A and B are shown apart, each in its own frame.
Chain A
Amino acid sequence: MRIDPFEKFAMIVGGILLGAFILAIAYANFVWGVKVPTCEVVTRPFSKGAFIETAPKTYEVQVVARMWYFDMGTGKNEITIPAGSKVTFFVTSGDVVHGIKIPEKNINIMAIPGVVGRVQTTFERPGEYLMVCHEYCGIGHQGMYAKINVIQ
């Protein structure tokens, strides 16, 4: 089929744009470690939250999202960590579908009953970080959040 030169030009430019996006995505993934959640086969779903210091400035948080709070094993809706801490969140749900977004971070994961998700980030800057539920989970959804206090 004959493709006229103008169309060919548009196709090539469009192709280059999409190719550039794909390369940039790969760069962010492999060089900067910006990952998407994957299928966790080792960790089985849990029903209680936990907040564990596995090494200095290294934490594991097991989050159970429930209508309408996050159980992180601390008995309140917050955790406190020193600046520079590397935190791994294991996330599941105890009832309906919830989600976690830390607005100041590119942490973004769904909490789905029966399955566990894992995300990891480092909190460099001290301050109070919000962690909000970002999937509709019933009438209390707009009140579902937790805090991450990052201290010096």
Chain B
Amino acid sequence: MENKDFKPVGAVAFFLLMIIVFAFMWFSVYLINLAGGR
């Protein structure tokens, strides 16, 4: 692979997936909190 050809599009896709997982896990606890407990 030529050095300058590299475009990390796969890493961007992975990063977006990770962000979605983050948001999901975070808001699942957030909703417990808004409800005042479990």
Contacts and interface: CB of A to CB of B under 8 A. Distances in A.
Direct A/B contact, Cβ within 8 angstroms: yes
Given A10-B15, A13-B15, A13-B16, A104 B30 contact: no
Interface residues of A, number: 20
Nearest to B20: A17
A14 B16 CA distance: 9
Interface centre among A104, A105, A106 (most CB of B within 10 A): A106
A13 to B, nearest CB: 6
A14 B34 contact: no
Interface string A4-15: 001001100110
A6 B30 contact: no
Nearest to A34: B33
Nearest to B7: A6
A81 to B, nearest CB: 16
A102 interface: yes
Interface of A: 6, 9-10, 13-14, 17, 20-21, 24, 28, 32, 34, 102-107, 121-122
